[in-house]
Structure 1
Amino acid sequence: MPRSITALEEASKTQSQLPVWLCHMWQRLDRRRLGLILGAGVSIDAGLPTWKDLVERLTTRFPAVKSAFDAHRSAGLQETYITQIAYALHQASIKGAPSALPRQFEQYQVDSTWMELVHQELYRDIESLKYEEILQRHSYLSSLGQLICRTELSVNFNFDDLVDEAAINFARTRNKVQPEVISRPKIETRRDASVIYHINGFLPREKRRRRSESLVFTEDAFADVLISPTLHESDFLMSRFATTTFLLLGTSLNDNSLKNMLRAGMKRNPANHHYIIYWENPASRRSDEERKHIFDVNLDVYNLISIFLETKQIAELVDLLNEEDAGLFEAELVRFSPHPARRKYYLVGSVVAGKSSNLEGLRCFSTFEEWSGRAPEKMYQDHMTLTAAERKEIDEWLYSQLREKNDKMRRAGVGMHVMDRCYLDFCAFSKTDIENVEKLNELRARVCKHSGPLEAGQIIFLEADEHALSDRQARRGKLRGATMVIDYDGASLVKQSATLKSVYKPEPQFTFDNSREGSDKTSRRIARQILLGDYQPFDFEKRIDELLGSGGKV
């Protein structure tokens, strides 16, 4: 029975790239490279309070200073600061009361009773409910538990364990590996187990279950994270923020530690983008202008793509991501999306244009290296200096590689796939038009005949000016002979680039001049064009016909 996607279809009418982002998230999830960051918004539908409401509940425990708390809020003090005041009042009341406990246990009593206080206010509205009743309240809690079991890491900013319980229940009923719930980083976690990391600590709904030793709730706890960037906690997350694509759900960007992590992750891996879902109230949706402001700032500052969804749309998104079969996922997607679910990209450019360096920066997608084997040594020499025998040796090796490249791209599944070098690059290494004709005929006879038509895909064209190309060649040590003449000097590489440009005719928005920037910045620009831009696959077969019709003239 087809799943419901009507709400997602409605969302995609105003967010046209949503299907593209879904494909990317699914691809990352399939490779266990999608993580979750969960905030209080995830638990609200189950009947738990928001962060602000929880703090207000705690402060009402101190009625004698209500006017002071009101004044603090009017003055604009953050909730974490107000909670620090509440904790200090609680600590004073416990330490000031008569107790038979030895003095060395006094602080333990303070923290234990404080956590009991938090537990009471956190679960107050659902205390009498069974978990099955809680699930009935929440439209996607069960599905979220399933999604967690497919991730490597979920960072839960909440104290409650409702999501944990959903994941554990799913794993048990489907005979999956039980997720591992932690409140502090571990050097090594259980093999194949999804990790739920309660970065702020956790208080299980059922009191007798083990809780974390502390709660990162107050101003001093957040401050410790911010001023100690070398803490093991930060290191544990930093590597993942750089290599994992995160989906932020039910959280805002009010947490400075989260914003710092996103920002630092962007610096480490500039092409890696994350997603945040903002809940939309059907009664008061954000305007297009409000959405654009939020989208632009999050993208520029945090590499964060913002999605605006109502509860029903969130439920359908989570459910669709849970589809493990690529074919079924694709079939569901095409019901409401004009975008192809399988998107292929080819990095094209002259020697030292930056193809391999940028491919390394685009590991947030599926990537294919320039060659699968060790290329002949002479292939790295200026083709104008090669003998006929050397050129024949290179061509023999090249056609088998092109067939393998085509096979890989034809088999590529849901998501974005980026390959270094393309099928018609050899035209830039021919001496005559006749040689182009011979190569194109050989390509069809030795590649297309066995592998099928060349797989169409978007051309990503990289270029640089003569000075930059010469400098890169020199830095690579590409000098030969007694006079140390550079292989492929800047001038010849500019001509090579011009020939490739004539072959592929790349779109301006997919042409990247990286003369004055490193691959970190260029790969970020490429990733954004892939995620936010149009997809216009290049028809190689049509272009071959055109080139043959012109007698090989590029």
Structure 2
Amino acid sequence: MENVLKNYPKAIVHLRQQFQNCRLSLVFGAGISRELHFPNWDELVEGIASHTEIDGKEIYENAKKWSNTTSITQLLFQHFKGRRLEELEKTHNSIAYREKRVLAEWREVVHEVLYKNAEAERKNNIGTHAYLKEFIPLINHTKFAVNYNFDDTLEYMLSQNEWNRAPRKGRAYQAVWNSHVQYQETTPVIYHPNGFLPGDKNLQQSENLVFSEDTFSDQLIESMSGRLASLLHLFTKKTCLFVGLSLDDHTLKHLLRQALTISPGNYHYYIRYTNEKKTLTASEKRAIFNSNFEVFNLITLFLNSAEVSALAQLIELEKENFKRRAAIAGVNTKYNYYLVGAVGVGKSTVLNHFGSLRLYEEWMEERPSALAKPSSQLTMPEKEMVDKWVNSQFYQKNVALLETTEGIQLIDRSPLDPITFTQQNETGARAQSMISAISPGRSEYKIESGQIVLLMASIVEVKSRLLSKRKMNWDDNTLEGLQKRTLDIYGECPTSAIDNTGRPIEHVVRAIAKKIFVEEYLPVDLHQRLLNIAEL
């Protein structure tokens, strides 16, 4: 557990944050079934071909030389369908009945092959699985999981009282495969986008399975036409942890790309399974990580079975216990990122794209109208009122940050920003005023440290932004002065500068996301910096 925490501290803190906020969803694939004796995709297709009802071994052997698995499945189904329709035509006049009967018989074959080796010792196999049971508390808490597999492993697991000790009334889950179904908020939902075949044939199951070339093509078309809106909503509004999935599914990749376009600041976590037989070099890991991050907004975690188990446990670990483990591992439980820059560079716009983080907007309360004017145009009473109000806002924001024990925070402006609005000869006094506000009386509060992300833009672009917000009082000299003062104030601090001049907002958002999710955390002692400025 300690190694996982050391290798991925920021990812675990973020996953815990989303879990606690009920904004984490789990997405499972075929990889979770390896230890349960379910066939993999190729084995399933070969088993279907060899089944006596299909009699397609020759088709399979010939087709596998030149075709992929989904195409072979399509050939086998058409072979079976053509023969059975001819046979049924002799005894049944209804075309609809004959087609339904063929689909039912096809599902029966798939079910038989799917569960052939998995039914024996099923409970024991799940019970001894390296990590599956560790996800029960996560599914119960998040209330929603996606399972791309046909089988009912997750449902079976949730129904076992000795594993699932969550209090409940009635069934422990709701299995759905139709995106139009209304979900029950009190019961964990297991959504099967590819179809559902429970082990118990008497239970309700999906009529269709996304398994062959035509059904995969139809699903891809449906994703384009909005029929899979529930999955797209999940990928744009929540943080997902992908477990046991490959990225070979064209529909999944299409949905992830759509989600990236709609919500460029929303990132997910993808477990790339590793073991002694599947070792990857550092350069291979780097290439995979960068590719998944850039193409799908996925943060890749390279984990073996024991590490997947540790990850699940760390996500739901009680706060004090997690704090102790983090201290032992020597990692942070809190990451603060201050988004700074002059007026009109786009800080608030960027902030709104990172809904998966804990956000602190520029002001904690409704701002006074005088704040919209350049400081040079304020009367002395207005300036005193504005300074006092601004100080109170940074005090409230800082207290909120101090009281937060874990998570990733993105904060619009730091307590150093107000100094950029003062004249050079007022710098020390303004800094001292902020220190007094942040640390009133004997409180000994200090400004929360954090990494500085400095946004910059050309004066032409800044003026254009301000005009779009009907702020027409800012002249070029004032804006240039603010930019220069900002660079002076933060010049001695390690900063991550990003120029968004002429760049689409999604490019700027993703550049900042890389600073937050990928790069090393470089916090700045802002309190000491403010003290240094006060002494000038």
| Same-fold status (TM-score > 0.5) | yes
2:17 alignment partner in structure 1:
27
Counterparts of 2:138 and 2:291 in 1: how far apart (Å)?
28
Counterparts of 2:492 and 2:84, CA distance in 1:
71
Would the aligned equivalents of 1:473 and 1:489 in 2 still touch at CA under 8 Å? no
RMSD of equivalent CA atoms: 2.2
Structure 1 position 395 matched with structure 2 position 387: yes
> 2:79 aligns to what?
89
Q: 2:487 aligns to what?
A: 501
1:290 alignment counterpart: 284
Query: For the Cα contact (< 8 Å) 1:144–1:163, is it kept in 2?
Result: no
Matches within 5 A, 1:455-534: 455-479=448-472, 487-505=473-491, 510-534=496-520
The letter of the residue matching 1:237 is: L
Partner of 2:428: 437
Could you tell me how far 1:192 is from its partner in structure 2?
A: 4.1
Which of 168, 180, 184 does residue 190 from structure 1 map onto?
184
- CA shift in 2, pair 1:115/1:68, >3 Å: closer
- 1:326 and 2:319 aligned: yes
Deviation at 1:387, TM superposition (A): 0.6
Identity of aligned residues (%): 27
Q: Counterpart of 2:248?
A: 254
My pick for the range that moved more, 503-512 or 538-547, is 503-512
Report the counterpart of residue 484 of structure 1 in structure 2.
Answer: none
1:345 match: 337
Q: Does 1:222 align with 2:216?
A: yes
Native 8 Å contact 1:266 1:272 kept in 2 = yes
Q: Paired residue for 1:482?
A: none
Q: 1:465 to 1:345 in 2, by over 3 A?
A: same
Q: Distance in 1 between matches of 2:117 and 2:246?
A: 23
Q: 1:143 maps to which residue? A: 134
**What's the CA shift for 1:264?**
0.6
The aligned amino acid for 1:318 is: A
* Unaligned 5+ runs, structure 2: none
CA contact under 8 A between 2:451 and 2:524: conserved in structure 1? yes
Q: In structure 2, what is the equivalent of residue 269 of structure 1? A: 263
Q: Does structure 2 retain, via aligned residues, the 8 Å contact 1:184–1:233?
A: no
Mean alpha-carbon deviation: is it higher for 142-151 or for 354-363?
142-151
Counterpart mapping for 1:159-174 below 5 A: 159-169=150-160, 173-174=165-166
- C-alpha separation between the residues in 1 aligned to 2:181 and 2:359? 29
One-letter identity of the residue aligned with 1:89: H
C-alpha separation between the residues in 1 aligned to 2:524 and 2:446?
13
Matching residue of 1:541:
527
Equivalent-residue separation in structure 2 for 1:43 and 1:423 (angstroms): 52
Aligned match for 1:36, one of 12, 17, 26: 26
Q: State the shift of 1:156 in Å.
A: 0.8
How far does the alpha carbon of each residue in 1:439-480 deviate from its partner, in whole angstroms, 9 at most, with x for none? Answer: 23322333312661111111111111121112222222222x
- Residues 271 and 165 (structure 1), Cα distance of their counterparts in 2 relative to 1, 3 Å cut: same
> Which residue matches 1:382?
374
Distance in 2 separating the partners of 1:448 and 1:102: 86
Say whether residues 1:316 and 2:306 are aligned partners.
Answer: no
Question: What is the aligned residue count?
Answer: 528
Q: Which moved more, 1:101-110 or 1:424-433?
A: 101-110
Task: Quote the Cα distance in structure 2 between the aligned partners of 1:538 and 1:499.
Answer: 18
1:272–1:524: 8 Å Cα contact kept in structure 2?
no
Query: Quick check: 1:7–1:316 contact (8 Å CA) kept in 2?
Result: no
Structure 1 regions of 5+ residues with no counterpart? 480-486
User: Which 10-residue stretch deviates more, 499-508 or 292-301?
Assistant: 499-508
Aligned partners of 1:506 and 1:21: how far apart in 2?
Answer: 29
Q: Is the 2:428–2:535 Cα contact (8 Å) retained in structure 1?
A: no
Shift in CA distance, 474/130, structure 1 to aligned 2, threshold 3 Å? closer
Change in 2 beyond 3 A, CA 1:382/1:184:
same
Q: Is the 8 A contact 1:91 1:110 kept in 2?
A: yes
Preserved contact between residue 298 and residue 306 of structure 1 (Cα < 8 Å): yes
Deviates more, 1:188-197 or 1:276-285: 188-197
1:369 and 2:365 matched:
no
Deviation at 1:252, TM superposition (A): 0.5
CA apart distance, 1:506: 7.0
Instruction: Give the letter aligned to residue 13 of structure 2.
Output: C
Once the two structures are TM-superposed, the CA of residue 217 in structure 1 deviates from its matched residue by 1.3
Q: Displacement, 1:97?
A: 2.8
TM-aligned CA distance change 1:332 to 1:508, over 3 Å: closer
1:227-242 matches, within 5 Å, as 227-229=221-223, 231-242=225-236
Cα deviation 1:187-240 (Å, max 9, x = unaligned): 642224432110011111122222122211111111112223454532122122
Match of 1:113 in 2: 105
Report the residue type matching 1:491 in the other structure. Answer: N
**Mapped partners of 1:258, 1:507: distance in 2:** 42
1:75-105 Cα offsets, whole Å, 9 max, x none, are 1x22111111111122223223357555242
Cα distance in 1 for partners of 2:9, 2:132 equals 22
Pair 1:167–1:489, CA change in 2 (3 A):
farther
SS in structure 1 at match of 2:440: helix
Alignment of 1:12-91 (within 5 A): 12=6, 16=7, 18-61=8-51, 65-75=56-66, 77-91=67-81
- Tell me by how many angstroms 1:520 deviates: 2.1
Q: Distance in 2 between matches of 1:22 and 1:287?
A: 23
What is the CA deviation profile of residues 294-336 of structure 1, one whole-angstrom value per residue up to 9, with x for unaligned ones? Answer: 222211111112222111111111222132x223223223433
Aligned CA distance change for structure 1 residues 347 and 123 (closer, same or farther; 3 Å): same
Check the 8 A contact 1:146/1:322 in 2, yes or no: yes
For residues 489 and 473 of structure 1, the distance between their equivalents in structure 2, rounded to whole angstroms, comes to 11
Kindly provide the amino acid, as one letter, of the partner of residue 319 in structure 2: A
8 Å contact from structure 1 (residues 159, 203) kept in 2: yes
> What are the equivalent positions in structure 2 for 1:414-453 lying under 5 Å apart?
414-433=406-425, 435-449=426-440, 452-453=445-446
* Maintained 8 Å contact 1:242/1:272: yes
Cα distance in structure 2, aligned partners of 1:334 and 1:115: 53
Secondary structure of 1:327's aligned partner? helix
User: What letter is aligned with 1:41?
Assistant: G
Q: Which amino acid aligns with 1:228?
A: E
Displacement of 1:66 = 2.8
Whichever residue aligns with residue 185 of structure 1, its letter is: S
